[in-house]
Amino acid sequence: MSAMQRPMRHIDRKELYTNLETRIQYLHSFLDFSSRDIEALISGSKYIKALIPALVNIVYHKLLQYDITARAFHTRSTSYEGPVDETITDNSPIILHRKTFLRAYLNKLCSDPSTMEFWYYLDKVGMMHVGRGRKHPLHIEYVHIGACLSFIQDTFTEALLSHPRLRMEKKVALVKALGKVIWIQNDLFAKWCKYITIVSLSIINYVRDGDEFADEAEAPEVEQEGYLFGKRMLDDLEEEADDLGSASACPFSGLAKEVSTVSVTSAEGEESTVIQDDEKVAARPSTQDPA
């Protein structure tokens, strides 16, 4: 074996579909999501947050350009094809309400991804857009979810690369890190979506990855919107908005800080546990056996 060649890593397929932490670790490894990416996101978060208010308006303006996405704000489903009488605009109460949650979500994307809390949040976002985990289900078909995520990434990329004061190396690091997070979010949306096709008048599952493990996967808990693991988060959003003078605070920031960390691999291939200490990012060697 060449000195530069590393042994092939084993990935347990069942664990990918029944254990979120295993799935996240695999995606981190495959995408080379390392402590450098986490540092780029945390140190560059102020530049991302400065873009969020404008981006939220741009995203909802885009969604209201198409009837199939706009009607979901009435019907909670993009598959509904019946009549919708009321006209929705960028400043309709339902849109202003949804903008609050999108601001919170985008702020969460540039928070600290070194904890499993971060990835549980992204996983729950995926779950709650496919009719699960809500008392009043929301059904958004994956084609619209993927398009919206791509639109968000494209807008962020253009704005960050055009920033007049950021050094190019910092722009590249921030764009790469944010792109990896968005693509992991994309996977967590796809994870919850079921593709259905009709063949010979029979409805069958079409490439439902890991469907044979469905009975062993964690069952989603039905919660009200604005709740995570039974904890009300909307009040936290409103309180922090008052403190910050804006409505861009994350409604899930009130979660307990004592959460597990996620091991990531450094650029040199060493496994580290990344922690955030005030505004600094530090990496400490993992005490786990590399086996």
Q: By the 8 A CB rule, do 112 and 276 touch?
A: yes
Q: Is 123 within a domain?
A: yes
3-state secondary structure of 221: coil
Distance CA 92, CA 112 (A): 33
pLDDT tens by residue, 189-248: 998 885 433 333 444 444 456 666 666 566 656 665 555 556 544 344 443 444 333 333
Distance CA 119, CA 77 (A): 25
Q: Is 284 within a domain?
A: no
Q: Is 259 within a domain?
A: no
Tokens 């996101």: give the residue. Answer: 41
Q: Is 291 within a domain?
A: no
Q: Is 85 within a domain?
A: yes
Helices (H), 202-246: 234-244
Q: Is 178 within a domain?
A: yes
Better-scored residue on pLDDT, 70 or 239? 70
Number of domains in the chain: 1
On the question of pLDDT at 25 being above 60, the answer is yes
Instruction: Determine the Cα angle at 232 with ends 17 and 95, to 5°.
Output: 85
In the predicted model, what is the mean pLDDT of residues 253-263?
A: 38
The pLDDT value recorded for residue 117 is 86
On the question of pLDDT at 252 being above 70, the answer is no
Better-scored residue on pLDDT, 198 or 70? 70
Return mean pLDDT, the chain: 75
Q: 219: which 2 tokens? A: 């069952």
Distance CA 26, CA 119 (A): 13
Distance CA 110, CA 62 (A): 22
Q: Domain with 183 in it: what CATH number?
A: 1.10.490.10
Output phi, psi for 252, to 5 deg: -100, 10
Q: Is 9 within a domain?
A: no
Domain assignment of residue 221, given as a range: 14-198+207-243
Distance CA 33, CA 122 (A): 16
The pLDDT value recorded for residue 168 is 97
Q: Which residue(s) pair with 271 in the sheet?
A: 265
Q: What confidence category does residue 159 fall into, taking pLDDT thresholds of 50, 70 and 90?
A: very high
Q: By the 8 A CB rule, do 127 and 140 touch?
A: no
Helices (H), 128-246: 142-161, 168-192, 234-244
Q: Is 176 within a domain?
A: yes
